Amino acid sequence: MMNAVDREPRFGFEEHQVFWNEQGAVVCACCHIPYPGSDTWQMERWEEITPEVMASIAREGGSVKCEGCGTVPKRVIHG
Ligand SMILES: [Zn+2]
């Protein structure tokens, strides 16, 4: 069974950080994120979804959710 309580951000990231890549995969810092700067990271063009980007997605009626654990980022700027 999966232990959902064990949420440990990787590579010195913080738990609230969420990332996506060129293919539109969304993954939080606790899930299967490639090592920053690695070949995979660069090849798949991983980037952090900044609060500004999240806010604009929300404004357009969209949402961002981690594909690994279903986490929805909390830090959305309202207004
Ligand atoms: Zn996750």
CA of 65 to the centre of ligand 1 (A): 8
Close Cβ partners of 78 (under 8 Å, ≥ 6 residues apart)? 55
Q: What is the pLDDT of residue 2?
A: 54
Least Cα distance to 49 among 70, 31, 25, 79 occurs for 25
CA of 59 to the centre of ligand 1 (A): 23
Q: How far is CA 59 from the centre of its chain?
A: 18
- What's the CA gap between 10 and 63, in Å, rounded? 23
Question: Model confidence at 73, in pLDDT bands (50, 70, 90)?
Answer: confident
Q: What is the pLDDT of residue 79?
A: 45
**Residue 16: Cβ within 10 Å count:** 13
> 46 and 33 in contact (C-beta within 8 Å)?
yes
CA of 79 to the centre of ligand 1 (A): 26
Question: Model confidence at 65, in pLDDT bands (50, 70, 90)?
Answer: very high
